[in-house]
Structure 1
Amino acid sequence: MPVSNFSRPAAIGAITLATLVLGACTTVAPDKPSNTESAQATESQPSWPEWTRTECVPMSQLDQQPQMRRQTSPIIQSSWFPKGLHTTVTFLLEVTPQGELGRVLWKPAKTDPRIVKTIQNSLTRWKFKPGMRQGQPVTTCFEQPYELIFPPINEPMANTP
């Protein structure tokens, strides 16, 4: 069965949206955990600035989570990492009540600047249907992880007779 020009981008969009939704399952501002839970959360999750807890409505308090309207994927060149690379960069995205991308943060801070710039460039074109609470659009924040795996680039072997 032939693939139409629409079905391939639609499939890519569906996969990306599924990744986004799964990434959004981690709430940035959890309900007040006990001291033991707080210590465990600090070890397993990056610590984000205070505004993420005070200005973003937690996903658990939403009637409807933000939904992707438009998304673009970053293109990261494997040639940037000839010795290979295996890393995860987690972006924190703020979605405004207007469905626009607000503030963007990333961890770890020492991530290669080419990776950060490429991902940020793709994020500028993302559009959302905002999160809703009690029928009103609200500011939400969620984590979007990017796992990057580039095997080492092998040098071509010299031809031997």
Structure 2
Amino acid sequence: MRKWRNAVVTAAWVAVGTAAGALGAWQLASADGGGDAAHSRPLDEAAVRRALAGAAHSPPARRKTPPPAPPSHSSSPSAERSTVRFTGGSATVECRPDGTVRLVSWSPADGFHIDDDVERGPAPVVRLEAEPADDDAQEDLPYELRCTATGPRAKVVPDTDEED
């Protein structure tokens, strides 16, 4: 009885798999009826030219993706973003019309990491510290970033950590 049951279950699985394959093949065959399906025959050079000529005279396609999200409330509409590079990495900052700077993002250079103690602003000056991966090889590099008339600037400042 058990062998008979296993044979029926196996036959049922084979039948379901065969039916699924046949359904998929039928869908592919019926979808190609108009010749516009992605899996239809490749176009020859003359057909490509005709298609391009037709596309040049047709109205632009409607946008299918949603418009980009508006900027977050934390950035000023007239703030200018710039990337500043320095020995320990780089930072993207916003220079705001009121003269303040806001640290948007930062990335360490190879062999460095950015300390968790980041002052993002907005403020007249923002701060971050690039620390070498091998603490014995090089000193930490504390930076102040500010906006000037010529754009954002990063400057190494004396280390104010009191852990030493």
Could you say whether these structures have the same fold, taking a TM-score greater than 0.5 normalized by the shorter chain as the test? no
- The two structures have a TM-score, normalised by structure 1, of 0.22
- The two structures have a TM-score, normalised by structure 2, of 0.21
